[in-house]
Amino acid sequence: MRQDAAWAAKSSGLTAPDGPLHVALTFYPPDKRRRDLDGCISACKAYLDGLADALGVDDSRFTLSARIAPFCAHQGEVKIEVRG
């Protein structure tokens, strides 16, 4: 997972500006069961580490925001957005 995230970040041409990086996580659950936001964020640790690897930064520069989207067509996906 870590390498997958690093590859995806590198192939997108993402670069790290100076200063903090805002990382927004949006979780699209695969079904209508309730989810624990802390658990969802923890499940993405390897992806966040891979993103930090690809950018050549320490992940302490990340400020995270996370939300669980309502059940919709994007079932079972996690959207990760990075802004400087």
DSSP, res 19? S
Q: Is the dihedral of CA 46, 50, 56, 80 positive or negative?
A: negative
Half-sphere exposure (Cβ direction) of 13: Cα atoms closer than 13 Å: 0
pLDDT of residue 5: 87
Supply the pTM of this predicted model. 0.86
The segments of the chain whose pLDDT lies below 70 read none
The CATH number of domain 2-83, selected from 3.30.450.20, 3.30.1330.70, 2.30.30.100, 1.20.1270.30: 3.30.1330.70
pLDDT of residue 84: 84
pLDDT of residue 40: 96
pLDDT of residue 39: 96
pLDDT of residue 81: 94
Do 28 and 75 contact (CB within 8 A), yes or no?
yes
Q: Which of 33, 32, 43 is nearest to 66 (CA)?
A: 43
pLDDT of residue 42: 96
Structural domain boundaries of the chain? Answer: 2-83
